[in-house]
Amino acid sequence: MSGFFKKNGSIISTFFLIAITFWLIFLILIPQLYMLDLSFRPNLPPLLRGGPDDVYTLTHYKHFVFGSETSKDAYNYVDIGVFVDTIGTAILVTIINLCFCYPIAFYIAKLATPNATRLLILALIIPFWINELLRSFAIRILFAGEGVINNLLLEMGLLDAAVNFIALDVALYTGLTYAYILLMIFPLYNALETLDTNQLEAAKDLGSSTLRTHWRIVIPHAKAGIASGSTMVFMLTAGALATPVVLSSPNTFWFTQLIYQWFNMNDNWSRGSAYSIILLVVSVAFVLLMMRIFRVTIGEVVR
Amino acid sequence: MTSNRTFQIFLGLYISIFFLYLFGPLIIMSVTAFNSAEFPSITPWECFSFRWFNEGKIAYDGQRLAGLAADRDLHVGLITSLFIALGVVTLSVPIGMSAAIVLTQVHSKLRTLFYSMSIMPVLFPGVVIGISTVVLWDRIATIGGEGIISELGRNGIFLTILGQTCFISTYCFLIFVARLQRFDTTQEEAALDLGASQTQVFMKILIPYLMPAIGSSAVIAFLASFENYNTTVFSILSEQTLTTVIATKVRLGISPAISALAFVIICMTLIAAVLYEFFRRRQEKKKALESAAKMYKEISSDRLKQDSKKAFILPKSIL
């Protein structure tokens, strides 16, 4: 500690310490810990907090698993269903994004000329400077009942009646895939860029097929990028709120919307906290799983 | 050879489809902003108009659909968003910088812990960060009783700045870490040996070296804050930002005024991108010229040295 002060001088050291403590303790650690604490407490009006009723309880987690005490079902099928749907869809979106982006990332990193590379990267970034809500809105214009796709298909005579893409969740899946595609491309591109082109040529000269080259050389080389891209896309999709708000049908719920409902409409903050903790635990578990599968460190995942 | 040809065609097609997927929705949305119909669409094209940018339209059922220029909510939201973004930039850039510098000074075990903690917020879902900020500050406000603390704890703008700073600082941190990895510490040591104080070293060497990172992290922080929805929607409480206004509008029903807003944002983005590319090209040219000039100078000075060496060899005939 004294070495630290000696190295930076007292003024700067104090500044560093204040900034870092403020961030790590007051912005990251305490809010999360307090939320964790709140999720184990009953939902009380502010005046009763800290009183005799304010004891630790598992009601909110029980509610997630078994449902409210008045319901007849053995389990809380609605909430668990929403949760499983959300996670399943997020995994699906991640896989689609990975398959969709891999050829593009490979093309930009290895096949395109340097000038084309720069232009393509710029072209990739531009759509992502535009608000996620507005991008979802663009998808909604395409898929709405009187939207562009329906009108086009009807005029061409391919459809007899408008298809409700929003109720079929086509719009939601398209929007979610669209929303975070950049976060898949960039890690992949960064990883593939460092691949030595000579290796590809050597493989070709030795008679390996394109598919085999990719499976044995390119993909192993890009594994850090794959892990990083998949993690980011999964986390953001599972935790997405803007896209589901715009694109989900009235009878489809995203888990974050459920949290929002407990929190803002039902004013049950501790249950909202408990559901947030569930989402948080799943997200962190997914990161750890990816680190385990791809044998990468956390520093390689978040870049 | 033919297989190569088909491969090329296939690849070209794939890339076109990909970029069509990226840009198609945005282009169609921009076009719908100019159709006077109440529902954003292209095919029953009523007539070309700017009404969604100006005053809007009175719908057939008498409901007033405001255009961009007439929408007060949007204007208030925009100002709040800008204010929050500025607050987030002023907090998160210094925090990210301090954390990155300190990371270079701690060692082994502590370093891993510190790094993991610093990047944690990126792995938290945005809604979780928003909720945790609100519940904590509500508690603080309750305990604080009347007065400034209680007011701050229930102020949506203040909470949003704190919540966004929590994870945007990590973005800044990562940018600074990348820049610091290439820092040559001998510069600092040299300055200290020559009698500079630590504060002077920091202000005169480290800060100028970090300037590009400060710039880019400020831009990233500003953009990230400006478009954030997931955290903001919880922490903003009774206030409204641009994104929450847009979300409310989209949920109420889709109006071409939103297309008009999107069109304005797309145009601004395109201009920014073109300017960025232009400046980068110019800077690259300047750099290339500079390095050419430097090389020329070095070569010529080498030649001078060689010539001077020759000049100092005395002709044998003198001896």
* Same domain, yes or no: B180 and B281: no
- The answer to whether residues B233 and B89 belong to one domain is yes
What kind and span of H or E run contains B57?
strand B56-58
Q: For chain A, give the mean pLDDT.
A: 80
- Reading the block at residue A153, the tokens are 């298909």
pLDDT tens digit string along B106-158? 877 888 888 888 888 888 888 888 888 888 888 888 777 777 777 777 788 88
Regarding whether B110 and B19 lie in a shared domain, the answer is: no
Identify which of A16, A23, A140 has the shortest CB distance to residue B169. A23
Are residues B153 and B229 both part of a single domain? yes
- Helix residue ranges per DSSP H, B228-255: 232-235, 242-252
End-to-end CA distance of chain A: 29
State yes or no: ipTM above 0.90.
no
A6/A127 same-domain check: no
A46 neighbourhood in chain B, CB within 8 Å: 142
Model pLDDT, residue A151:
76
**Residue B1 — very low, low, confident or very high, per pLDDT cuts 50/70/90?**
very low
Specify the DSSP class assigned to residue B315: P
Residue whose pair of structure tokens reads 């906290």 in the numeric block: A273
Q: How does pLDDT run across B281-292, given as a tens digit for each residue? A: 788 788 888 888
If asked whether residues A142 and A32 sit together in one domain, one would say no
Quote the tokens at residue A252: 């489809």
> What range does the domain containing B165 cover?
73-254
- Closest by CA to B241, choosing from B159, B168, B169, B126, is B159
Q: In the prediction, which pLDDT does B41 show?
A: 66
Which of A38-52, A98-112, B49-63 is the least confident region?
Answer: B49-63
pLDDT at position A52: 65
Query: DSSP character for B64?
Result: E
CATH classification at residue B116: 1.10.3720.10
Indicate the residue among B254, B281, B312 that finishes a domain.
B254
Q: How far apart are CA A278 and CA A259, in angstroms?
A: 10
Mutate to test the interface with B, among A2, A16, A121 (most CBs of B within 10 A): A16
Q: Do residues B219 and B275 share a domain?
A: no
- Is the per-residue pLDDT at A107 higher than 80? yes
Q: How far apart are CA A286 and CA A303, in angstroms?
A: 17
Location of structure tokens 């909510």: B73
Q: Which domain holds residue A189?
A: 77-301
pLDDT tens readout for residues B51-108: 677 666 665 555 556 666 667 778 888 888 999 999 999 999 999 999 998 888 887 7
Query: How many distinct structural domains can be found in chain A?
Result: 2
pTM: 0.82
- Among A137, A159, A211, the residue to mutate for chain B (most B Cβ within 10 A): A137
Retrieve residue A156's tokens.
């061409």
Nearest CA in chain A to B189: A7
Residues A87 and A192 occupy one common structural domain: yes
Asked whether the predicted pLDDT for residue A272 surpasses 90, the reply is no
Specify the amino acid at residue B39: F
pLDDT (0 to 100) of residue B56: 64
Q: Which two tokens stand for residue B236?
A: 């903003």
Whether A43 and A270 have beta carbons less than 8 Å apart is answered as yes
What's the structural domain count of chain B?
A: 2
Over the stretch B247-300, which tens digit does the pLDDT of each residue have? 888 777 667 778 888 888 888 878 887 887 788 778 878 888 888 888 777 777
